[in-house]
Structure 1
């Protein structure tokens, strides 16, 4: 059966994949994506959402939740007023399609299988609504949002919590905490692989690092046939939208332990690596090691003249079950987060829908807007004012600043932005001025991370990649000749 968007002009189609979309921020990204797409795009455009989960059951539940939200949105006065007299909600619901794919970022064979299904046209709706559940072909991906992740925390160090609350104040303490306690990062068990090479040949993988970074890193590379474009393609290359954290400081990462096997903060360590590779991917000093990642022999040179670009976001401070608290503490956690917002913190968005703001904006903004802002050089955080008006905000990255440019204290104070967009609003109290030397070190650390990641990818592709390489070859032949 043909896809419901098959007869829609290519420029009126928009394909977005979101990992970890069955709950929390991932589900909210799907919801906000629907709202913003229907409110801003052509009345003839179609949105194809591809949430990923770890099982068919979770995919079905996620799709049903997304469709329920879509039905409510379609009845909103906002959409009715945009369309005009004689509006029918079904017009909106008919323009949003939800299919799904299953993968587990810590089980690498499932990543290759999911990528193969996407590239080779075997995406389905497990609920049977879209095309009766038959296999559907995805001609391209316009954006992939890497939201899925694992915190690996065990709780709070209460003595540090009390001390930092009183010394730094709630807004600073609950934005840049030093009191989170983490479990030691577990080493993943050997991957379930059939073949000549046994478990002893597999490089060790840290659980938090793989769930937050490396699984996504492999997935994006395998999706290059859907993310890359020919030079004459009408659509820009796909966007790879990474999710970081506001608390991804330099101190959390040891360059001798990039995976965080021995880190006291493996989550924050993985997010620091995310910052390093995302902000530097196409810098001349880094391309000598990153270029191989954006090239694949399974694409013809013409197919990869327009390469996908990394973008970096974070959700702000949001209350989700990612942090382990009992019901009593979770309630006071909510109260404390709202207090911080009232005290003027722009980062305490608290609610998942507001937290989705930055990722959705990066995914849906026009390429011209992103390019004019040099958006690939910025870490975009979800922020809001006291009245919950949310907007993407530039975040300071240690060793990089806001845009990879040196700014002295006077320049920062003279910032002409207003409200929550001011650089000093929400800035870490003890942040130090950026120097050229620190930028050079940031780029050097990025080169080291890229080298290790590419080496690790090469090792795992040697173990896992034989079947994937054949799939990609077939996909390249199928896709060649299109206008992507």
Structure 2
């Protein structure tokens, strides 16, 4: 396999997730059949990488047969809660590639501690659509730090990916596209500017996605002007993610699905349920079908017919967030200037 060949390079962080897998297959479906494609799979562990590659290969063989001989695979092991791992991933990419066409930032880590079942029942009875659209009964732990002494969710979902982009920006220059995956729940109320690392926040996941929104709007114009990189902000709506399954049993999982379908039937446009529909907005952005100046969401009608929703975002505080992140970036540039490890070790 020649990694230096003239192929379309697609890098998806968190490829092993439901959304990551569906972004991969939708990109393969939509790219033309006149050029080879290199799909760079990422995960924290080698077994997950192998599983992702096998799953995607199987899908190609069954559903996109015209792409069988056009797609080759590479992988990068990266843990965004580990700055050395991020640096190692950059080093490996820089050795092997001169250009990356698409980067999907699909980081979605939380520090969940369970479900407040009394609150869940109360919310479902009071307003079932709201209960499965903006749930407040998911319990998140506070004060969780990474081994780098950064807020773990902040590092996993915001600073780690931002630092990764900072290091590989030259590979994305001259036409590359970045797609940040935000959330439907990235609301202002979940972020305090006195707690940007989200260590005191009981809603650190939602707060991290609010930071993603602000970072996008603070940087997309500069990336376009200085590096000719097109950056987009999207959210996948609501779908069956695997990240919370450990807190659900057979009955509560299918009960959740029933509520999802009920919410869709009652008019909720964001209950996509399917990871394939959820991947609509990320892939549409990558294919140049959306605007950089708006947040774009995956949505569907009662029958599952997919469409896009364009949303404006209140960008209050975006420059303060960028200043903080950039100062942290300089700090870590200094800390990491002499450290390189091999990301191909399992």
For residue 376 of structure 1, give the secondary structure of its aligned residue in structure 2. coil
Q: Which has the larger radius of gyration?
A: 1
Establish whether residue 463 from structure 1 lines up as the match of residue 330 from structure 2. Answer: no
Deviations 1:378-404 (A, max 9, x none): 11111111121222221353xx2xxxx
Q: Which residue of 2 aligns with 1:149?
A: 108
Deviations 1:98-133 (A, max 9, x none): 211111111111111111111111xxxxxxxxxxxx
Q: Which residue of 2 aligns with 1:313?
A: 234
Counterpart mapping for 1:14-33 below 5 A = 14-33=8-27
**Structure 1 residue runs of 4 or more that deviate by more than 4 Å after TM superposition:** none
Q: Following the alignment from structure 2 to structure 1, what is the Cα–Cα distance between the partners of residues 117 and 51?
A: 37
2:161 aligned residue (213, 216, 220): 216
Q: Following the alignment from structure 2 to structure 1, what is the Cα–Cα distance between the partners of residues 160 and 259?
A: 33
For residue 106 of structure 1, give the secondary structure of its aligned residue in structure 2. coil
Deviations 1:214-249 (A, max 9, x none): 1101111111121112xxxxxxx2121111110111
Counterpart mapping for 1:168-247 below 5 A = 169-190=127-148, 204-229=149-174, 237-247=175-185
Q: Following the alignment from structure 2 to structure 1, what is the Cα–Cα distance between the partners of residues 226 and 205?
A: 35
Q: Which residue of 2 aligns with 1:436?
A: none
1:62 aligned residue (46, 49, 52): 52
Q: Following the alignment from structure 1 to structure 2, what is the Cα–Cα distance between the partners of residues 244 and 112?
A: 23
Asked whether the 8 Å contact 2:214–2:321 carries over to 1, the reply is yes
Establish whether residue 343 from structure 1 lines up as the match of residue 301 from structure 2. Answer: no
Q: Which residue of 2 aligns with 1:273?
A: 211
For residue 141 of structure 1, give the secondary structure of its aligned residue in structure 2. coil
List gaps (5 residues or longer) in structure 1. 75-88, 122-137, 191-203, 230-236, 284-290, 296-303, 401-441, 469-484
Kindly state the Cα deviation for residue 185 of structure 1 after the two structures are TM-superposed.
4.0
Asked whether the 8 Å contact 1:150–1:211 carries over to 2, the reply is yes
TM-score, structure 2 normalization: 0.91
Deviations 1:72-94 (A, max 9, x none): 113xxxxxxxxxxxxxx4x4211
Kindly state the Cα deviation for residue 59 of structure 1 after the two structures are TM-superposed.
1.4
Q: Following the alignment from structure 2 to structure 1, what is the Cα–Cα distance between the partners of residues 171 and 47?
A: 26
Which sits farther off after the overlay, 25-34 or 62-71?
25-34
1:249 aligned residue (180, 187, 203): 187
Kindly state the Cα deviation for residue 32 of structure 1 after the two structures are TM-superposed.
1.8
Q: Which residue of 1 aligns with 2:344?
A: none
RMSD: 2.1
Deviations 1:36-89 (A, max 9, x none): 22xxx2x31222211111122221221111101100113xxxxxxxxxxxxxx4
1:112 aligned residue (65, 87, 90): 87
For residue 339 of structure 1, give the secondary structure of its aligned residue in structure 2. helix
Which sits farther off after the overlay, 144-153 or 154-163?
154-163
Counterpart mapping for 1:118-133 below 5 A = 118-121=93-96
Asked whether the 8 Å contact 2:220–2:232 carries over to 1, the reply is no
Q: Which residue of 2 aligns with 1:447?
A: 319
Kindly state the Cα deviation for residue 263 of structure 1 after the two structures are TM-superposed.
0.3
For residue 247 of structure 1, give the secondary structure of its aligned residue in structure 2. coil
Rate the CA distance shift 1:182–1:467 in 2: closer, same or farther, 3 A.
closer
Kindly state the Cα deviation for residue 305 of structure 1 after the two structures are TM-superposed.
4.8
Deviations 1:355-392 (A, max 9, x none): 11111111123xxx54xxxx111111111111212222
Rate the CA distance shift 1:330–1:462 in 2: closer, same or farther, 3 A.
same
Establish whether residue 92 from structure 1 lines up as the match of residue 67 from structure 2. Answer: yes
Q: Which residue of 2 aligns with 1:46?
A: 36
Kindly state the Cα deviation for residue 467 of structure 1 after the two structures are TM-superposed.
4.7
Deviations 1:327-370 (A, max 9, x none): 321121111111111111110011111111111111123xxx54
Q: Which residue of 1 aligns with 2:310?
A: 394
Q: Following the alignment from structure 1 to structure 2, what is the Cα–Cα distance between the partners of residues 151 and 391?
A: 28
Q: Following the alignment from structure 1 to structure 2, what is the Cα–Cα distance between the partners of residues 172 and 279?
A: 28
Q: Following the alignment from structure 2 to structure 1, what is the Cα–Cα distance between the partners of residues 177 and 75?
A: 19
Equivalences, count: 338
Asked whether the 8 Å contact 2:28–2:67 carries over to 1, the reply is no
Q: Following the alignment from structure 1 to structure 2, what is the Cα–Cα distance between the partners of residues 47 and 391?
A: 26
